[in-house]
Amino acid sequence: MIRGIILFLFWALVGLGLRTLWKLYLEWRRNRPRRAEDSIVMLLSEPRAMNAQTLAALLASEFGVAVGLAASENVENFVGGESPILPFRIQGGSFVLHVHAAPYVADPEKVASGVAEQRLAMAIREHRAWISVDALRDGENPYPTIGRVLARLWGADVMALLHRPSKRIAPGSDLVPFQLRAADPVKAVFGEIEHSPVVNAEAEDAELAEAKRVAQCRWKEFCDAFAANSGNGFSVKAPITRDGRTEHIWVDVEEITLTCVWGLLGNEPSDLPGLRLGSRVEVPLDDIEDWSYLRDGKTIGGFSIAVLLKRNR
């Protein structure tokens, strides 16, 4: 009898101690310092379609390695899962690609009301979807890989980018795909650089004038590649004027004629009445200041981009 009471009291004390330890553990877990997840988010004007096969092909092309569709002993690099969540492994790093057809924030209007910069506020308010690349494990700096993947996913539908750990946001611009390929893409995109999707330069700018001269001299190279479909992301930069206002802006090429280029505005204009991202415009050939396209993951052209990147260092 006494022995039974002693055992009961013993186990009761053990149980009470374990419950106390568990509560202390939960409290520590709630309050412990956490390392923000390494991630860059792209806010999109419209949803994207993406599956494991498409992502595997993109990674294989970008990094020049074989990429499988599932983890196995014989596949070092692979993509798994199903959209909207696609985990993948590339060059020793583990990541997740999120592709979501919904706003990134629960109340875009409320969040946008607290953002002073007009373009960023508009991106938050009007975006309809988002993509992010998240690093799964600590270790080597994951951002060069994150940057390269997002550079390959870049498109005219990107309105803004968010660096999740610092909560810093930057507007989409023609410079961003190049900055994402920098050695430190976070600093290049979200640093102290003034980001603007529209380039306003003085007419007498000698360096940009030289960039235009080179682009004009090599225009046939761009036309031949476009006609042969030898690449993707074909775009030209030119001054677009409406109601006496002019902005130097990139245009995604749809058609090239003997006298002009037809295409869609690749950036949101700052102040061009009646025009916005995706508006169809005509660009006379003589007005073309620069051109650019991607081939095998490398940028061809972008002569003014080189000038602007040098100034932003």
Cα–Cα distance, 226 to 138 (Å, whole number) = 42
CA distance 40 to 161: 7
Distances (CA, A) of 128 to 40, 102, 112, 212, 236: 17, 5, 14, 35, 26
* Residue 170 or residue 36, greater confidence: 170
**pLDDT for position 31:** 46
**Predicted confidence (pLDDT) per residue in 46-83, tens digit:** 998 888 898 998 898 888 888 888 755 567 888 888 88
Distance CA 58, CA 40 (A): 18
User: Are the CB atoms for 269 and 275 separated by under 8 Å?
Assistant: yes
Higher pLDDT, 296 or 190: 190
Is the confidence at residue 139, as pLDDT, over 90?
no
Residue 130 bridge partners (DSSP): 43, 100
pLDDT at 132 over 60: yes
DSSP helix, strand, coil percent of the chain (3-state; round to 5): 35, 30, 35
Cβ neighbours, 10 Å, residue 313? 7
pLDDT, tens only, 73-89: 567 888 888 888 888 88
Q: What stretch(es) of the chain map to CATH 2.30.30?
A: 206-312
* Predicted pLDDT of residue 14: 47
Hey, is 297 helix, strand or coil?
coil
Length of the chain: 313
pLDDT of residue 19 exceeding 80: no
Please check the confidence at residue 34 and state whether its pLDDT lies above 80: no
- The answer on pLDDT for 125 being more than 90 is no
- May I ask the CATH architecture of the domain 206-312? Roll (2.30)
The per-residue pLDDT of the chain, averaged, comes to 79
Q: Which pLDDT score is estimated for 197?
A: 42
Q: Is residue 148 pLDDT above 80, yes or no? A: yes
CA-to-CA distance for 111 and 158, rounded, in angstroms? Answer: 18
pLDDT, tens digit, 9 for 90 and up, residues 193-233: 333 444 444 444 788 889 899 999 999 999 999 999 888 77
Provide the pairing of β-strand 39-44 with 129-135.
Answer: antiparallel
